[in-house]
Structure 1
Amino acid sequence: MASTIKNQQASAKQVGDAITENVKHEILLYVGPPVKGLQRFSSFVGGYPEHFNEHLEQSPAFKKMFIQPEKLTEFQNSMLDAYSVESMLFKKTEEYFSEVK
């Protein structure tokens, strides 16, 4: 993961490639209801938060509450319709965590 440029006379392309290599991590934005240890609109670099692995496996709806940031506006527009898939997944996630002790 850590790439280094070995000579001090690095070209602009080498520097750009090194920066791009370090930026290619997936970013996910949590758009579900607030739950203990997780606030709405929290962002995660490199995938899903590891401390929620158990819940991610047990609740497919919860897993769908993590989206790419560029899809936020589309998600929020869908939430305006109470019968949209996104609204139903949000409610399922609320129900799931209401039963978690």
Structure 2
Amino acid sequence: MTEKVEMSATEKKHAKLKSTSEVVENSNKQQLIYFGPSLKNLQQYQVFIGDLPSHVKKHIEINPALKELFVEPKELPLIQRNLKIKGTREQQLYDLVHKTKGANSNAL
């Protein structure tokens, strides 16, 4: 039988303040979305908050063009439109990474 434990009003207030401060802290960090093709351990439209993880940095070392496939969330609608237009910078970068992704994934 489990016993239900109630939090005091002070504990509830403290928990709420803590979660609010974590949200504010995370919202101050840079957010980036990867719009390139899915690669090993890197999915299309994956969101990153703060610094990029080491496995993503490794992908960028192998193929520096990847760095240009990360944008702020507010830019995503324009990027998605440009991906559909042949010859745009976004479409060319996407194709470049897509064509080389097989060779690059073996190095990770």
Fold conserved between structures, TM > 0.5 = yes
The aligned runs of 1:58-73 (5 Å cut-off) are 58-73=62-77
1:56 is aligned, of 55, 60, 65, to 60
Task: Check 1:46–1:77 CA distance in 2 against 1; reply closer, same or farther (3 A cut).
Answer: same
Q: Which residue of 2 aligns with 1:45?
A: 49
Secondary structure at the residue paired with 1:28? strand
TM-superposed deviation, 1:21? 4.4
Q: State the Cα RMSD in Å.
A: 2.1
Unpaired segments of 5 or more residues in structure 1? 1-7, 9-14
Percent same amino acid among aligned pairs?
28
Stretches of structure 2 that go unaligned for 5 or more consecutive residues are 1-9, 11-16
- Per the normalisation by structure 2, the TM-score is 0.69
SS at match of 1:40: coil
- TM-score w.r.t. length of structure 1: 0.73
> More helix per residue: 1 or 2?
2
Match of 1:34 among 33, 38, 59: 38
Q: Cα gap change, 1:22/1:68 in structure 2, threshold over 3 Å: closer, same or farther?
A: closer
SS at match of 2:51: coil
- Structure 1 range deviating more: 37-46 or 19-28: 19-28
Is 1:74 matched up with 2:71? no
- Relative distance call for 1:22 and 1:86 in structure 2 (3 A) is closer
Check 1:88–1:22 CA distance in 2 against 1; reply closer, same or farther (3 A cut): closer
1:35/1:97 contact within 8 Å kept: yes
Larger radius of gyration: 2
